Structures are given as C-alpha cells and as structure tokens.
Chains A and B, each alone.
Chain A
Amino acid sequence: MDAYGHLDGMLLAILAAEPAHGYAIAQALKDRSGGVFDLPEGTIYPALHRLERSGLLDSEWSTATGRRRRVYRLTARGRRAADGARRDWSRFAGAIEAVLA
C-alpha cells in the first residue's frame, strides 16, 4: 500500500499523542498500521525536517541513556494541521467506503 501520500498526516497524528524521536515515530508508524505500510524507515526523516521547516513541528536535541537524540513535538499550527488531516481523511475514507459498499 502506498503510504507516501499520507505520510505527513500520519507523522502529525503520531506526534499529536506525545513528543517523540525518529526511531520511536518509525516504530509507532509500523505498530499502528499493523505492519501494512512498508515504508523504508529512513524516509520519515526528510519528512520530519520538511514539516519542521513548514512550522508544523519543533525539535531539539535531548540526551537519553547517554545518547543524543532529536525529539519532535507539534507546534500549535501542527496541532491544527493534524486535526485538519484527520478530518480530511475521514471525509475521504467515508466517501470511498460509501462508493465501495
């Protein structure tokens, strides 16, 4: 299944729950989709950088278990964008389901 077109929305949705670093985000993406999305894990980083440049995410280095890691969190704009992505998807999925049913 092609998840690239919806990657931004999914990343925002994952970060809406709590701030996270790249590996945790990749794991959440895999776990929540039940392994359906076969994205190369590395592709989330360019998307995270782009979302940060767009002002939807904020990030900073933190040190955990002796390692430096970049932790991402939603900005206020990012939270609104996440809500918007969720609404858009619900409408889109509802329409598809209605057609397929």
Chain B
Amino acid sequence: MSPRASATPGPDSPGTSFLVELDRELARRRVPAPARRRIAGEYADHLACDPGAAARLGVPDELARTFAAELAADDARRVTGETLAALCLAAVALVAGQLALGGAGGSPRFDRGTSTLLSLPAIVLIVLAPQVAFIAGSLGAVRAWRRRRARTLPDAEVRLIHRRCRVAAAAGSITCAGLLLYAMNFTSRLPAWWLTLQLGLAAAALAALAAAWRASRSASPTWAGVAGVPEGLAADVPRLAPLLARPRAAWALAGTAGLLATAAFTAHAEGSLAEGLQRGAFEGVAIAVGLGAAIAIARGSES
C-alpha cells in the first residue's frame, strides 16, 4: 500500500507509523483498495515534502473515519442514480413491449403460447415485480435526494439506501425475466420484429440492473462508524405519515383502491365487468404486495 520508495519516510520514522496506522484504519473501515493506495500516496508525498509534518496531519483513526464516511455517503447517492437509470431502462422495455403488441396483432391469449406453465408465471411476474421495483426505487431516490447535501450519513442510513436500491434492482430484474419468459412463450404467435424488440430491450435492462446491483454490493463501506438511526418511511413521504402509522390499514386501502380503479378502467375498456373485476383483483394484490414490501423495507431499517 506504500507509494514509491523515494517518497516513503524511513522505516522507523513517525511518518511511517502514521502511514501504517492510517492504512490499517482505512482497511478496517472497508475503504476500497484503489482509494487506499491513492490516499497513502498523497500522505506519503506530504511527509516527503516535510518529514516533521507527521505530528500535524491529524489522528489516523479520525482521518480514516472521515474518508470512509464521506465515501459511503457519496457512493450511496451514486448507486441510487445508477439504479434509477437501470429501472428506467426496464420501464422502457416493459412499456415499449406492451405498446408494440398493438402493432404485432394484439396480445395473444395466455393459453395460446407454448405452455401456460410459462405464460402464467410470466404474466404474474410482469404485473407484480414492477410495482415493487417502482416503490423501492422511488423510496431509495427520495431518501438519497433528501440527504443530497449531507457530507456523511449514519451507517444505518447508508445500508437503508443500498437495501432499497438492491430490492428495486432485484424486482426490476424479475420484471425483465418475466418479459423474456413471455416473449419466449409466444415465439410462434408473435412476429419476429416484436420478439427482437422485446428480447433486446429486456436483455439490455437486465444487464444494467445487474450492474447496479453489483455496484451496490461492492460500493458500500458502511463500517465508517457514523452512529445514528435513519428516519422512517414517514419522513420520506410526510403526507402519508398518518396512514403509515397504521400499516395494515394503508395496505388494505391501497389494495382496494387499486382494485376499484383497475376494475372500473378495464370494465370500461373491455366492456366487461367480469374482466374488469378479474384484472382489478390482480392489480389490487400487486399494489398490496408492493406497499407491503415498502413497509417491510422501512420497518426492517428501523429495527
């Protein structure tokens, strides 16, 4: 971890002790190796300019903590941006594929593909997973935006932001998997151009989501030692605070609202109350699952 030998103080000098201790503290706080090498190089150059500066540089433990905490906060915000961008790609894959179905002769019945064992899970994934991705991604973005000016964040809050991003990336990936499954199930029913479009968009979104997930896993040195408990979900969405104080009521209300809205819309569009109720029930369950995931994420972070 030392810089070039010509820039390194003597083996028994205070400067060497400082560099060794600083590197140990940075490693203990899981600061990535490239950042540690750069930090060591800069302090070594400082000491080479003035060997007596070791006493004036500060306490290695405190310096390492500052580096780790500021890096963790910035990384959490950066990963949130990458996750949102990947989710936007997944949304494009979902919406463009569905809209393009109109030009591809319409959506085939679920039992007209290769197997209903493929089409039913695909449809369930396409309906449920985007809701979880949207809610988790939005909550991650809201928290990162609210704390955009904070130099450091409590370790627990960094973990909360990363958790929301990873849930969003995972749910987005499941959505893309559902899209791929759907397309593959209807290869004999849908034109090649639609299949190419859907497979291409879903694969691109999947790759971006995987990259966002990896970034979140690898970029979170949340051992900076910054104490504090993050605010709960109500702080992110203050207007929902009264509802969120009663999560079961919020859960039931959101599900019922989703059911009624979708039922009314679909019944009108399809001219069939039965069809509207079926899709409405499905949507109600999906919204309830999404909100349930959000509440679980928020509560998990507070426990």
Question: Which A positions have Cβ atoms within 8 angstroms of B?
Answer: 21-23, 26, 40-43, 45-46, 49-50, 53, 61, 66-70
List residues of chain B with CB within 8 A of the CB of A69: 42, 45
> Which segment of B2-10, B189-197, B240-248 sits at the interface?
B2-10
- With both chains docked as a complex, state the minimum distance between the C-beta of B46 and any C-beta of chain A, in angstroms: 5
List the one stretch of B50-58, B170-178, B259-267 in contact with chain A. B50-58
Chain B positions within 8 Å of A41 at CB level: 46, 53, 56-58
* Interface residue B110 (Cβ < 8 Å from any Cβ of A): no
**Shortest Cβ gap from B215 to chain A (Å):** 15
Complex interface: chain B residues within 8 A of A45 (CB): 39, 42-43, 63, 67
Give the chain B neighbours of A40 by CB distance below 8 A.
56-59
Complex interface residues of chain B between 2 and 20 (CB less than 8 A to chain A): 3-4, 6-7
Looking at chain A's contact residues, the main secondary structure is helix
A50 near B46 with CB under 8 A, answer no
What A residues does B53 contact at CB under 8 A?
Answer: 23, 41
B70 touches A50 (CB 8 A): yes
**Is there contact, CB below 8 Å, between A68 and B57?**
no
- A49 — which chain B residues lie within 8 A by C-beta? 35, 39, 67, 70-71
Which B residues are closer than 8 A to A by beta carbons? 3-4, 6-7, 35, 38-39, 41-43, 45-46, 48-50, 53, 56-59, 63, 66-67, 70-71, 74, 151
- The residue in chain A whose Cβ has the minimal distance to the Cβ of B63 is A42
In the assembled complex, 16 residue pairs joining A and B whose CB atoms fall closer than 8 Å, in A order, are: A23-B50, A40-B56, A40-B59, A41-B56, A42-B43, A42-B46, A42-B63, A43-B58, A43-B63, A46-B67, A46-B70, A50-B74, A66-B6, A69-B42, A70-B41, A70-B42
Contacts of A50 in B (CB 8 A): 70, 74, 151
Question: Least Cβ distance of B150 to chain A in Å?
Answer: 12
A26 CB contact (under 8 Å) in B46, B59, B74: B46
